Structure 1
Amino acid sequence: MTLAKYEILGKVVETGNLTKAAEQLSLTQSAVSRAIISLEQELGIQILARGRSGVRLSHDGERLWGYMKEMLQLHENMLQEADQIKGLMRGTVTIGTFTSVSIHWLPDILHRFQQEYPQIEIRLLDGHYYDIERWIADGTADFGFVNLPSSHGLETTMLIQDRMVCVMPADHKHSVKSTISLEEIADEPFIMPAKGCDTDVRAWFDGQAAVPRVRFELEDDHAIMAMVRSGLGISILPETILASAPSGLVARPLAPEASRSIALAAVSFKKCSPAAARAISCIVEMMGEQKSDA
């Protein structure tokens, strides 16, 4: 068995298609097929299940794929360590992130990081909180931004507290108030962030044994703000998102206060690759600078 076969299998699993995998690896489809067949013969099991919708790991393949990914990651870590010894820094780092982080923090962070480490490739996976934790847990992402508490037993390092605020049209009757209470929100039609984006909002209501009058559920923060601006309801969003809010909206703190806790998470920070460790260090440093400037 060779690592090359594991790499080919990984690309097939990623794309779900032998032809696409071959194109991305600059190989012929027959070469990819031979590598998979050879690997299945060596292991004595069928690794892939083939169907009309493409190919995927078989049940037996799923049981072995985790070990193969670990071997590929160890090999990558070894190459990165060797480069460090030679005074070089290379590698690929996959980061799980969600929209508000991608908009408000990552651009500046990645700009500085790429200037310092141009040979390190950064890949971003954008998803909901639970997507990111799953990607980290199964090795799809090296680390990621999460909303505490983590539900997968991941190691975490706290970055920032992001205050939750009530968002309403500028001419709303409550816009003159300095804070917004549960009772005032309960009387209004509410636009709820969709499942996966709403854990902090629902936790705030649950903590007070209250049920909002949900009129719409939307996944996109900017769509929520557009609905609010049009007078279709009010909502609760993280304060950082309001930096890109359209005109015609106001935000007021909640009473009692609420915030989300944004952290970095990994299966084990000590076992991260050298390149991932550099990226984590850069993020923690720059987020610390932003907190100091706030």
Structure 2
Amino acid sequence: MLDNNSFTKAANQLGYTQSSVSQMIRSLESEYDMQILKRSRTGIELTVQGKTLYPYIHETIRQYQSLQETAHAIHGLKTGTVKLGAITSVSCYWLPDLFKRFKEEYPGIDFVLKQGDYGTLLRWVKTGEVDFAIMTADYGEGLDKILIRNTEMKAFVPKNHSLAKLSTIPLAKLSDDPFILVQGGGYSEPLKAFKQIGINEPNVKYQIQDDYTIMAMVEAGLGVSILSELVAKRTDFDIVCRPVNPKVTRPVSVVCQDKKTMPIASKYFVEFLIENKNKLQ
């Protein structure tokens, strides 16, 4: 409803009438003797009291959905929704094939996929907007983490760059050029790697979230970058990808609040992911 900013749009999405949704909200406000939503010509928004209650309401809905899916699982997994977040490289190169093969086994399962940087993914996990995220295990304390694979991060340089002639590029050399940093939302493998060799401030000129935009900028000669090895497997950009010395790695993991209480459909998919991790390209 808040995303739609309208009772009418929310009602259409939920399959109710507008008056039914309005009545539900009035009943909730009456039960708790407080105004939860502010109504105006521009739409609706939470009151201060509503903002306080919202996380609890959201968690109640999540737990109810988990209860329903667990009950269904007793009779076999027939319906459900897997809500996950993932970094760009994983959502592009791993998930499409995994989704396809999982739905062949469980055709009644739907997926809701949200892409984001590390900080955004952690927020979604903590608020319950996603059941789990696929991201680095090096970031986010106090959460359950299941390692899927250690992926290598490599240097991406223009084709005519002097470093392109090397079979392995010294990490320190990448700090001399304009550096295009992939936004990490609070954590960055390249910046951590630079600090480990004594370079606290590489020559960062751009901070971009999208891997493809970064590769296009590298191709245009605007700088160099360090990205996941996954993005080098399906690209037509006229650039050079090389290993870095010392090696920069990223432990890609499933990150969740509590793997024991994860909704059953998501739990099945995580198990499927673990079973097939050695087949991931």
For normalisation by structure 2, the TM-score amounts to 0.91
1:71 aligns with 2:33: no
User: What one-letter code is carried by the residue in structure 2 that aligns with 1:285?
Assistant: E
Whole-Å Cα distance in 1 between the matches of residues 141 and 39 of structure 2? 31
Query: Aligned residue for 2:252?
Result: 262
Q: 1 or 2 for the larger relative contact order (CA 8 Å, sep ≥6)?
A: 2
Of Structure 1 and Structure 2, the greater helix share is in 1
Task: Determine the structure 2 residue equivalent to 1:4.
Answer: none
Greater Cα shift, 149-158 or 99-108: 149-158
Matches within 5 A, 1:234-273: 234-273=224-263
Q: CA RMSD in A?
A: 2.0
Q: Take 1:214 and 1:242, find their aligned partners in 2: how far apart are those partners?
A: 22
Q: What residue number does 2:49 align with?
A: 60
Residue number in structure 1 paired with 2:35: 46
Equivalent residue, structure 2, for 1:7: none
Q: Which runs of 5+ in 1 are unaligned?
A: 1-11
Secondary structure in 1 aligned to 2:91?
A: helix
1:277 counterpart letter in structure 2:
K
Give 5+ residue unaligned stretches, structure 2. none
Q: Which amino acid aligns with 1:92?
A: T
SS at structure 2 position matched to 1:45: coil
Q: What is residue 217 of structure 2 aligned with on the other side?
A: 227
**Per-residue CA shift, 1:164-191, capped at 9, x if unaligned?**
1111122221112122123322222222
Superposed CA deviations along residues 56-108 of structure 1, whole A, max 9, x for unmatched, are: 33232233233323332333233223222333531112111121111100011
In the alignment, structure 1 residue 279 sits paired with structure 2 residue 276: no
2:152 paired with 1:157: no
- Per-residue Cα deviation, 1:5-30 (whole angstroms, up to 9, x for no partner): xxxxxxx1342322210121232322
Q: Which amino acid aligns with 2:15?
A: S
Q: Aligned equivalents of 2:237 and 2:219: distance in 1?
A: 8
Contact 1:163 1:239 in 2 (8 A): yes
Aligned equivalent of 1:131:
120
Distance 1:136 1:58, change over 3 A: same
SS of the residue aligned with 1:62? helix
Counterpart in 1 of 2:89? 100
